[in-house]
Chains A and B, each alone.
Chain A
Amino acid sequence: MSKDGKLLLLDFWASPFCARVKIALEEKGQKYEQSEENLFGGKSELLLKSNPIHKKVPVIFHNGKPILESSIIVEYIDETWPSPPLLPSCPYEKAQAKFWADYIDKKVFEVGGNIWRNTSGEVQEEAVKEFIEILKQLEEALGDKDFFGGKAFGYVDILAIPLTSWFLAFEKFGGFKVEDHVPKFSAWIKRCLQRETVSKVYPDPEKVYEFVGNFRKMNGIE
């Protein structure tokens, strides 16, 4: 497939998963078109046709062919446009990066969701505790490195950083502050946001907080 073909992203402004794809494309200097999906008003026919199984964004079309699942899309982008590399070339380091990507995918958004989907009480407190433990685990994996991959911003950073745009919402509804518990991780967040490729596409945390608030009201969570 020609590397230079057209790129179209089915997108949603608040989705951290879509932001992952946008950051990866920005890092590679690839131009792309975006089409905003109205996830609550009615998903487009194109979305439902191209992702009939999960019916989710992001979906990216390259030369008319769809690729699904944000971490798979980011890896596809890395393989199609190898420079600058997002994944390590050493197989062991690559496997470690994928391990952390998988951990982040399984834990962060789900447990964060358990915070805002519940009103204050025991269930929410448990979710906050679990969330902080997850971040502590990530902070340990980060260690004293600038980025998860080491000196260079890479795959794990790209998959993790957009999720942090939802942290303000988690913090406000959960009554805690991420920085109090994981200062090194918080420093990493700030470091990533200094990159234009990230800040350009990072969902506005205040708008996300408002969005989640509205979603809670619509679903009778207060």
Chain B
Amino acid sequence: MNQEQQDNLQNAQEQGVRQKIARMDEVILLDFWVSMFGMRVRIALAEKGIKYEYKEEDLRNKSVLLLQMNPIHKKIPVLIHNGKPISESLIIVQYVDEVWNEKAPLLPSDPYQRAQARFWADFIDKKMYDAGRNVWTTKGEEQEAAKKEFLGNLKLLETELGNKPYFGGDSFGFVDIALIGFSCWFHAYETFGNFSIEAECPKLIAWAKRCMEKESVSKSLADEKKVYEFVSRMRNKLGIE
């Protein structure tokens, strides 16, 4: 090998090493600012102090990257860790908890407590989004029924919270993360549904305020007025009113 070839080889090797170092713990989040599911991941990453690149998706014009990384559901959030995608917000949160396990545990260590946390996160997943959506997409009798269901679900959660500061007990955890993103949508639900969540579920509102005192939460949630404006635009698009 001549000198030029040797130099080229050395340059290529150094560049490879540099790229490898740069790619170590490359974390990208594909998200949409108003998504309560995306917020879960933002909070988890913040709790763990992980640096990441946030990529805003236009859901009416999904990026090639999103369609490649989540071809089955084509949904956000998607976490891309060193080039490998993880989808479904609660699965992502559990993944983050396991990989960056040296600080801020999000799930309890006891298997029974973990099963309880997963149950309530699953309940929130199955019930909250649709119930909330039904409140702002319907009118009249249908809306009254939607409000009743929505508040019923919140009351169940409030009972589960009891007198604990967080769903996880003394520390903010998995169930808190699963639910808190919905709180910045409360103002929109209340305005379009013409009701007060605080009047029905004061303890839950107190819990939400407590969570918002954490920087990981306050920096991850969308502004409730902006959420209201977003929902307003969606209602116009759907021809509601």
What is the size category of the interface that chain A forms with chain B? 20 to 34
Proximity string of chain A (82-102) to chain B, C-beta cutoff 8 Å, 1 when within and 0 when not: 000000000110111011001
Residues of chain B with a CB closer than 8 A to A53's CB: 123, 156
Contacting B87 at CB < 8 Å: which of A62, A68, A94, A99? A99
Cross-chain contact A95 with B94 (CB below 8 angstroms): yes
A218 within 8 Å of B by Cβ? no
Residue contact A91 to B99, C-beta cutoff 8 Å = yes
Q: B86 near A67 (CB under 8 angstroms)? A: no
**What residues on A are CB-neighbors of B118 within 8 Å?**
69, 72, 75
Task: Answer yes or no: A120 CB below 8 A from chain B CBs.
Answer: no
Whether B119 is near chain A, meaning CB under 8 Å from some CB there, is yes
Task: Report the separation of the CA atoms of residues A92 and B81 in the bound assembly, to the nearest whole angstrom.
Answer: 9
| The residue from B84, B91, B112 contacting A98, defined by CB atoms under 8 A apart | B91
Contacts of B87 in A (CB 8 A): 99
B34 an interface residue at 8 Å Cβ cutoff?
Answer: no
For residue B92, which residues in chain A have a CB less than 8 angstroms away from its CB? 95
Q: Kindly state whether residue B239 has any CB partner on chain A within 8 Å.
A: no
Asked if A126 is an interface residue, CB under 8 A from chain B, the answer is no
Known: A91-B99, A92-B86, A94-B95. A67 touches B156 (CB 8 A): no
Q: Does B140 contact A (CB under 8 A)?
A: no
Bound Cα distance A73, B86 (Å): 23
Interchain CA distance A92-B94 in the complex, whole Å: 10
Does residue B59 face the partner (Cβ distance < 8 Å to A)? no
Instruction: Judge whether B229 is part of the interface by a CB distance below 8 angstroms.
Output: no
CB distance from A144 to the nearest CB of B (A): 20
Which single residue of chain A is at the shortest CB-CB distance from B113?
A: A1
- Whether A76 is near chain B, meaning CB under 8 Å from some CB there, is yes
Chain A min CB distance to B201 (Å): 17
B91 contacts which chain A residues (CB < 8 A)? Answer: 95, 98-99, 102
B111's contact among A69, A80, A96, by CB below 8 Å, is which?
A80
Per-residue CB contact flags for chain B residues 87-127 toward chain A (1 = under 8 Å, else 0) read: 11001101100110000000000111011001100110000
- In the bound assembly, the distance between CA atoms of A80 and B7 in angstroms comes to 57
Q: Is the CB of A75 within 8 A of B94?
A: no
- Mask of B109-150 contacts with A, CB within 8 angstroms, 1/0: 011101100110011000000000000000000000000000
| Choice from A67, A94, A96, A99 contacting B115 with Cβ under 8 Å | A67
Q: Give the docked Cα–Cα distance between A60 and B95 (Å).
A: 26
Note all chain A residues with C-beta closer than 8 A to B115: 67, 72-73, 75-76
* 0/1 string, B156-182, CB within 8 A of A gives 1: 100000000000000000000000000
Asked, given contacts A91-B99, A95-B94, A137-B72, whether A65 binds B112 with beta carbons under 8 Å apart, the answer is yes
Q: Are B112 and A94 in contact (CB under 8 A)?
A: no
**Partner of A79 from B88, B111, B122 at Cβ < 8 Å:** B111
Among A62, A92, A94, A137, contact of B84 (Cβ-Cβ < 8 Å): A92
14 contacts across the A-B interface (CB closer than 8 A):
A1-B112, A62-B112, A67-B119, A69-B119, A72-B115, A72-B118, A75-B115, A76-B114, A76-B115, A91-B99, A95-B94, A99-B86, A102-B91, A103-B72
In addition to A65-B112, A69-B118, A69-B122, 16 A-B residue pairs with Cβ atoms within 8 Å of each other are A53-B123, A67-B112, A68-B119, A72-B118, A72-B119, A73-B115, A75-B118, A79-B111, A91-B98, A92-B86, A92-B95, A94-B98, A98-B94, A99-B88, A103-B72, A137-B72
Question: Which A residues form the contact surface with B (CB < 8 A)?
Answer: 1, 53, 62, 65, 67-69, 72-73, 75-76, 79-80, 91-92, 94-96, 98-99, 102-103, 137
Q: Across chains A and B, which 10 residue pairs bring their CB atoms closest together, nearest first?
A: A79-B111, A91-B98, A76-B115, A95-B95, A95-B86, A72-B118, A98-B91, A67-B115, A80-B111, A91-B99
